[in-house]
Amino acid sequence: MINPITQFTKVIPFWKPRVDPVILTSATEDQLNAMKVTPSDTGVGAYVLVLAHDPETLKARTPLFNGIMYSHGGLSRHETELGAVATSIYNRCIYCAAVHASRYNQLTKTEEVIESVFTDSSYESLTERQKAIFVFATKLSSHPCSATETEMKHLIDSGLEKTEILDLILVASLFGWANRLMHILGDPIDTPDAED
Amino acid sequence: MTPKQPFTFKLLSASGIEPTDEILEVLSSREELMSLSQEAHDACIIPKDSGGISLSERAALASRMCNLNSEHQLANYYAGMIPGGDPALQMADPQLKMPDSPRINCMLKHTDLVTSHPKDTIASDIQNLEANGFNTADIVRLSELIAFVNYTIRVVKGVRLMEGIL
């Protein structure tokens, strides 16, 4: 019996796939290549093993994901995480929200911002810049999309450079993708899956 | 006058965004990410191994998701990838009645749900795909396709908003 977590948390849950992951020892050459692993690797996560069912996409997706999250020279690491959290909250992807909320807290050594966005939709304890980032990412992620020139202008007025804005667009969009895998193909649970 | 450089991520041109010098300059800082986005596009829309979801169906679903997001120019671009007379073309229009095929019906409902209300997707939605003949690999392929197109739509909307202020 699966008991998925339904409330936002900064404690990273376990993830139980709703479909059978690829079995590493019987993975094809293409699948191993896309996962960048060998059959003797241990510790390949269930999520990667699920995505290995579509190796062509996984192969392009992994460097794109890492590039958006970790590239230098644009939006700071912690603000990138804040964008990821905003989209994950809008899409109610408990797992992604937890992972990126906890990274945000580690990077900033604070907890107030995450507590605020998890519990309070007025974001009162956020600075203008944090609020501009959070609101833009949320509105860009919404359906129908409700981001307008007002939110774009708020970013500029809060001091974001063009390259930082591009990075924010990319991370919010990326989590529109990631949430639609993580939240659709599995459940966040609070104990390790007994079958694993 | 030098000719305008095309976008590396071709979906930006297909959506009607003008490759102005200003926007190209901003995008040039993330050239590699644009190129990887195009690679992901090809893997989702025109993969070498399309599994149980045909290339026409992929283009039709992409077109449908763009229509659901009012990205009609991009929707037409995807619809244009479908050969004339192919019945998959009907799937591109969310206004049209769902076809009688339970498999296609289920695929369209799932695509609409995950595009519009991803948070409302539950385990039985995946079981429903299985009950309608989707194997595990096709469920993952369909999920990546839906997720990628939703990524693209937001990159397009964001870059268009940015163009408005440059």
Q: Give the pLDDT confidence of A47-88 residue by residue, as tens digits.
A: 999 999 999 999 999 999 999 999 999 999 999 999 999 999
Which pair of tokens denotes residue A151? 């939110």
Q: What are the CA-CA distances from residue B114 to residues A116, B38, B141, B156 (Å)?
A: 27, 22, 14, 19
Three-class secondary structure of residue B104 per DSSP: helix
* Pairwise CB contact (< 8 Å): A166 & B27: yes
More confidently predicted of A123 and A6: A6
Alpha-carbon distance A102 to A29, whole Å? Answer: 35
**What is the fold of B11-163?**
AhpD-like (1.20.1290)
Distance from CA of B101 to the nearest CA of A (A): 23
Residue B149: list chain A partners with CB under 8 A.
Answer: none
* Pairwise CB contact (< 8 Å): A183 & B32: no
Residue of A nearest to B130 (CA): A19
Count CB atoms within 10 A of the CB of residue B1. 3
Alpha-carbon distance A139 to A128, whole Å? Answer: 16
Q: Which of B39, B157, B101, B68 is nearest to A61 (CA)?
A: B39
Each residue of A69-107: b (16+ CB within 10 Å) or e? bebeebbeebbbbbbbbbbbbbbbbbbbbbbbbbbbbee
Alpha-carbon distance A150 to A132, whole Å? Answer: 10
Q: Is the pLDDT of residue A37 over 60?
A: yes
In contact, A169 and A84? CB cutoff 8 Å = no
Q: Strand A14-17 to strand A186-189: parallel, antiparallel, or no bridges (unpaired)? A: antiparallel
Alpha-carbon distance B48 to B10, whole Å? Answer: 19
* Pairwise CB contact (< 8 Å): A64 & B40: yes
Q: Is the pLDDT of residue A18 over 80?
A: yes
* Pairwise CB contact (< 8 Å): A183 & B147: no
Q: Count residue pairs from A and B with Cβ separation < 8 A.
A: 162
Handedness of CA A102, A108, A114, A115 (dihedral sign): positive
Q: Which amino acid is at A7?
A: Q
* Pairwise CB contact (< 8 Å): B36 & A64: yes
Residue A16's DSSP bridge partners are A187
Alpha-carbon distance A107 to A127, whole Å? Answer: 17
Q: Which amino acid is at A37?
A: V
- List per-residue pLDDT tens for chain B, 166 residues long: 455 678 999 999 999 999 999 999 999 999 999 999 999 999 999 999 999 999 999 999 999 999 999 999 999 999 999 999 999 999 999 999 888 899 999 999 999 999 999 999 999 999 999 999 999 999 999 999 999 999 999 999 999 999 988 7
Residue A54: list chain B partners with CB under 8 A.
Answer: 43, 47, 51, 137, 140-141, 144
Alpha-carbon distance A49 to A9, whole Å? Answer: 25
DSSP H helical ranges for A94-186: 94-108, 112-119, 128-141, 149-157, 162-185
Look up the ipTM and state it.
0.96
More confidently predicted of B69 and A37: B69
For residue A48, give the DSSP letter. H
Total number of domains constituting chain A: 1
Q: Residue A76 is part of which domain span?
A: 1-196
Average pLDDT of the segment spanning A126-134 = 97
The domain spanning residue A118 has which CATH number?
1.20.1290.10
Using the structure block, give the residue that is written with the tokens 């690829």: A22
**Confidence (pTM):** 0.96
Count CB atoms within 10 A of the CB of residue B124. 10
Which of A68, A74, A185 is opposite residue B29, by nearest beta carbon? A74
Three-class secondary structure of residue B90 per DSSP: helix
In contact, A154 and A132? CB cutoff 8 Å = yes
